[in-house]
Structure 1
Amino acid sequence: MTCNYFFYGTLRHVPLLEAVLGHPVEARSARAAGFSAFHATRANRSYVFPVLAEARGASAEGIVVTLSAEDRRRLDYYEAGYQAAPIAVEIGAEPQEALTYRAPLDQFAPGAAWVFDDWQSRWGAIVTEAAAEFMSGLDHIPATQGLGRFPMILVRAASRLRARASQSPATLRRAAQPRDVEIDHVAPGYAHFFAVEDYQLRHRRFDGGQSETLDRAAFVSGDAACVLPYDPVRDRVLLIEQFRIGPMARGDRNPWLLEPVAGRVDPLETPEEAARREAVEEAGITLGDLIPTPHFYPTPAAKSEYLYCYIGLAELPDLPEGGGGLADEHEDIRRHLVSFDRLMELVETGEAENGPLLVIALWLARQRDRLRAQAGVERA
């Protein structure tokens, strides 16, 4: 049994609708007279998705697609919390009835006008990429749990898009070709703030053949930005110190680590913007120029995480009392100003045992004389 559906919001973006349904669709332009799309709001917060509300003299533009009962099952999962209800639409000059998913107005109020083209240009590609991960939870993960994970799903989606757009050199290593990796099956093994994905895959061997089917798991997280603030005039850096669950889970007697400023790259951010934002949030400082250091995968055998690392030029006079971090993220951060020589001592003694800190510190050792000369400091 098939039925017509009217999409006025994010699912009006056909690539996203196809990602949710798992197949191509034929869409017809349509409109719902007497309605308009508005940003969903709740508790003085405005969301990027819309609600449909009555608006005299207005007309909500959208698309109509004829879909099956299985399509309805997938839509009900993706649109968890929304209710499908009939609505009168016009396809050209022809009036018809269709189902549309509407946010309950007792939970969301209409805010400012929602403009599809604005959402599509900013969010379309990221949300479309995120839909595949969200829909992989169908029949495995309750939709409400999936919605709770959606902010991190967006972070991971943006990371995947960033990875596809990058072209790192392949002068010594193998240059990958299409069909070098064939994924037979992928399923979520764990899904919460982070995710674990189970893969059945085959990959090209160095002898030209294809491997047997391999059972592999990947810990999936988003990209992160790391920055070591450095004052070339005072020749000192700012380190942060905080409790880390990884060393604790390993059994380390001291799970407090010295680190550079670091944090996840949000979906609409560049890594550079993330580094500057985290410097304000974690250290309370504003960075000047960012000098890229090597970017890298810290644990490629098991994790998808990719780190964008920088030296951040800054003025680092004596710090006021107090720590850093965001209270609503339960961050408890202590800041340390240390000389470059003290930083190298921490590296040599092993007290600095955070991977990104070691990479950036050693890169700073290579660049230090040049950075100090550019700041007008004469060599002794």
Structure 2
Amino acid sequence: MTKTYFFYGTLSYPPLLERVLGRMPNMRPAFLDGFEPRIARRNGEDQPFPILVPSDLGVPGILIDTETEAEETRLADYEGGYRLHAVEVVADGTGGTTPAQVFMPDEGAWEVGEPWDIAEWAETWGELATEAVEDTMASLADLSFDEIYDRREQMLVRAAARVRARETSPASLRRQAALTDVVVRERRSPYAKFFAVEDYDLQFRKFNGAFSAPMERAVFVSCDAAVVLPYDPLRDRVLLIEQFRVGPMARGDGNPWLLEAIAGRVDALESPEQTALREAEEEAHLALNELVPVAQYYSSPGAKTEYIYSYIGIADLDDQAAAPGGLDEEGEDIRPHMISFERMVELLDSGELNNSMVVICAQALIRKREALRAQFGAA
């Protein structure tokens, strides 16, 4: 038996509804009296979805009919923090009311924010929220709704990375891949916090055209990142930062304080360039004048999703240009070092610059240095 649902929030956005339901249903305009949609808030922070509160304004939305119990299960799973309530809605063109089910949160579960505007939400969050559906639905077998909600920011960051990953990349030598060249048989998320681990059962098309045998692969899911090495072409001076790193510590490195380029996660609504500028301010209180692209690359493609956007940042590196930085809430304690170009080369040759991101930026600076000094007026 089919059920009729009334949607007024993110599920009234057709691309997202299609992704959750697995098909595009017939959507009929409708109106619910007695409520209005407001932005949900928690701890004073706006969330990218609405709640219903009592009001005389009423709520515009859509009606859809499910076809199978599996569709109803997918809707209930996606709206795991809400409960179904029976309502009567006014369907356009019928002249009367229609019984429907609507998802609503428990009273007091959320703080009430500003009025909800579906068009404004769609422009800002629509594409990312739709892309994040895949992660949400894949996590349902392993995580509770509260655990998934706690990872909402990471899921949106990953969704933004997936959108960027669809941009055309060069393939003049490697194979021209098709969507049908990889078959994911099963995907699991046994661990998911700030980072996540995903287990895949998959097959891929081999160079002879046949598919590989089924194989299991684990992937460490981290976000896209932006890296920038500040350089002053007039003073021929470079800025490095130093901070404690848990990776070398866990490996057994006797000195887990590394010299690095400035770097950070590309947040959901940021471009990599915006991230580079923001991180320079956060980590070294440094304003960059211009970004010179270096390279884009996977840091460890055999096991990690991390994709790096790297830059040389043109800056005025006088003696007061930088200061210790980092965010206390992220446990950061960062010390800047302003050094000559020659000293950077010495550190590279000695192995004291020992992480891939700073090595790649330093090598790029060696290659681009003379052109940058000429471009920005060095003698």
Give 1:226-241 correspondences, 5 Å limit. Answer: 226-241=227-242
Distance 1:175-1:42 versus aligned 2 partners, 3 A rule: closer
Q: Distance in 2 between matches of 1:32 and 1:5?
A: 12
Q: Distance in 1 between matches of 2:273 and 2:13?
A: 29
Matched pairs, number: 376
- Give, as a single letter, the amino acid of the residue that structure 2 aligns with 1:78: Y
- Give, as a single letter, the amino acid of the residue that structure 2 aligns with 1:6: F
Task: Provide, for residues 232-285 of structure 1, a one-character-per-residue CA deviation record: whole Å limited to 9, x for no partner.
Answer: 111111111111121112111111111111111111111111111111111111
1:321: Cα distance to partner? 8.5
Task: Provide, for residues 274-319 of structure 1, a one-character-per-residue CA deviation record: whole Å limited to 9, x for no partner.
Answer: 1111111111111111100011111011111100000111111224
Structure 1 SS opposite 2:146: helix
After the TM superposition, which of the residue ranges 263-272 and 134-143 deviates more from structure 2? Answer: 134-143
Give the match for residue 111 of structure 1: 113
Structure 2 SS opposite 1:290: strand
Q: Distance in 2 between matches of 1:180 and 1:69?
A: 31
Answer yes or no: is the 8 Å Cα contact 2:231–2:314 preserved in 1. Answer: yes
Task: Provide, for residues 54-112 of structure 1, a one-character-per-residue CA deviation record: whole Å limited to 9, x for no partner.
Answer: 332x2311111223544443333322332322233111133122221223452333322
1:23: Cα distance to partner? 4.0
Alignment root-mean-square deviation, CA? 1.9
Distance 1:132-1:178 versus aligned 2 partners, 3 A rule: closer
Give the match for residue 62 of structure 2: 63
Show structure 1 runs of 5+ residues with no match: none
Q: Structure 1: which 4+ aligned runs deviate by more than 4 Å? A: none
Q: TM-score if structure 2 supplies the norm length?
A: 0.93
Give the match for residue 198 of structure 2: 197
Give 1:2-41 correspondences, 5 Å limit. Answer: 2-41=2-41
Show structure 2 runs of 5+ residues with no match: none
Give the match for residue 100 of structure 1: 102
Give the match for residue 280 of structure 2: 279
Q: Distance in 1 between matches of 2:322 and 2:175?
A: 51
Give the match for residue 44 of structure 1: 44
Give the match for residue 87 of structure 1: 87
1:356: Cα distance to partner? 0.7
Answer yes or no: is the 8 Å Cα contact 2:285–2:322 preserved in 1. Answer: no
- Give, as a single letter, the amino acid of the residue that structure 1 aligns with 2:46: S
Give the match for residue 135 of structure 2: 133
1:178: Cα distance to partner? 4.0
Q: Distance in 2 between matches of 1:105 and 1:302?
A: 43
Q: Does 1:359 align with 2:338?
A: no
1:123: Cα distance to partner? 1.0
Q: Percent identity, please.
A: 46
Structure 2 SS opposite 1:296: strand
Answer yes or no: is the 8 Å Cα contact 2:19–2:133 preserved in 1. Answer: yes
Q: TM-score if structure 1 supplies the norm length?
A: 0.93
Give the match for residue 146 of structure 1: 148
1:157: Cα distance to partner? 1.1
After the TM superposition, which of the residue ranges 184-193 and 269-278 deviates more from structure 2? Answer: 184-193
